[in-house]
Amino acid sequence: MMERSISRDMVRKVILEGEIIEDYPDDKPYPSALFFKYIENDPVHVVVSFDVQTNYCMIITAYRPDIDHFKPDYKTRRRYEN
């Protein structure tokens, strides 16, 4: 996260104040979701996994989405046909 200039506080804000834009209920070993929020006018994505038995939340990754992979709303993933 730090090498991407995304602080722990930013990650916390995305999780607590952002919205889930993709849900991965079948992820293993725990279900996960992609969260989105603008932080200081920049879009930030955080993938979080959650263990319902222990109530632990695990941060998988945090990054700034780019226009090559997401539409201009930064919420909709681009789908490329082969």
Q: What is the pLDDT of residues 28-43, one digit of tens each?
A: 999 999 999 999 999 9
Reduce the DSSP state of residue 8 to 3 states and report it.
Answer: helix
pLDDT of residue 5: 87
Q: What pLDDT is stored for residue 81 in this prediction?
A: 60
All residue ranges of the chain with pLDDT < 50 are none
Measured between alpha carbons, how far is residue 16 from residues 10, 20, 27, 29, 54 in Å?
Answer: 10, 10, 21, 23, 19
